[in-house]
């Protein structure tokens, strides 16, 4: 089976709550904090068609008067399975390097799609990976410190601080999440 792109997963995740039309999804990308994904029709409609061809979603034309009415897409069982599998994947070093955004996307959908326990498992996996990665970054820094310009060094320092910030958020998120599910009902 063909790989599912990041945009594909974003679409699947958004459809989990309730069926959406291509236009709805575009609006979400253009108006909310998911602006990092493209709201262009040239990205969304082909992506939806691909998901449909793979049997991950089903589209149904709403009956209406006109010739071209809106089409609602809903998650099909294989699509839900793929979404769950993706969210449950453990975090790897590679994810930290290439795909911090993707991690957040996965976590954002986690509670709704797979529930509290796997969501917390995702955070713990992230925490573990970060704990071994941060010392590596410090070590790299020490190695090259002397050979690079001041601005390059500061940029690298941001890489470290940003990663440390992610770790601190992860710990905060674990605590907050655990408190919340103990306190209020999910």
Binder of residue 183, out of its own copies, DNA, none (CB less than 5 to 8 A by kind)? none
Q: Output the smallest distance, CB 22 to DNA, in A.
A: 4
Distances (CA, A) of 178 to 111, 130, 164: 12, 20, 21
Tell me: does residue 43 bind its own copies (CB under 8 A): no
Under 8 Å between Cβ of 29 and 38: yes
Q: Output the smallest distance, CB 65 to its own copies, in A.
A: 32
Q: What are phi and psi of 65, to 5 degrees?
A: -70, -55
Pairing mode, strands 71-75 and 20-21: antiparallel
Beta bridge partners of 75: 57
Binder of residue 22, out of its own copies, DNA, none (CB less than 5 to 8 A by kind)? DNA
Tell me: does residue 154 bind its own copies (CB under 8 A): yes
Nearest to 82 by CA among 57, 99, 46, 60: 57
Tell me: does residue 169 bind its own copies (CB under 8 A): yes
Interface residues for its own copies in 95-134 (CB under 8 A)?
97-98, 104-105, 107-112, 119
**Within the chain, where are the H helices?**
6-17, 22-31, 41-53, 77-88, 93-98, 100-114, 116-144, 150-182
Tell me: does residue 81 bind its own copies (CB under 8 A): no
Binder of residue 176, out of DNA, its own copies, none (CB less than 5 to 8 A by kind)? its own copies
Contact positions vs its own copies (CB under 8 A):
32-33, 35-36, 97-98, 104-105, 107-112, 119, 137, 140, 144, 149-152, 154-159, 161-162, 165-166, 168-169, 173, 176-177, 180-181, 186
């Amino acid at each position: 089976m063909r790989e599912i792109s990041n945009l594909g997963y974003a679409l699947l995740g958004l459809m989990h709550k309730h069926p959406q039309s291509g236009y709805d999804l575009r609006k979400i990308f253009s108006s909310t904090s998911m602006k990092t994904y493209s709201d262009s029709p040239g990205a969304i409609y082909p992506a939806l068609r691909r998901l449909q061809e793979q049997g991950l979603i089903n589209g149904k034309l709403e009956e209406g008067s006109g010739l071209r009415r809106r089409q609602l897409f809903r998650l099909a069982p294989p699509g839900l399975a793929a979404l769950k599998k993706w969210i449950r994947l453990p975090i790897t070093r590679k994810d930290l390097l290439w795909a911090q955004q993707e991690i957040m996307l996965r976590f954002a959908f986690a509670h709704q799609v797979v529930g509290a326990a796997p969501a917390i498992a995702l955070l713990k996996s992230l925490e573990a990976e970060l704990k071994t990665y941060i010392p590596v970054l410090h070590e790299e820094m020490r190695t090259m410190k002397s050979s690079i310009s001041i601005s390059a060094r500061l940029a690298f320092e941001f890489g470290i601080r940003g990663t440390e910030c992610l770790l601190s958020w992860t710990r905060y998120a674990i605590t907050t999440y655990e408190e919340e599910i103990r306190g209020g009902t999910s």
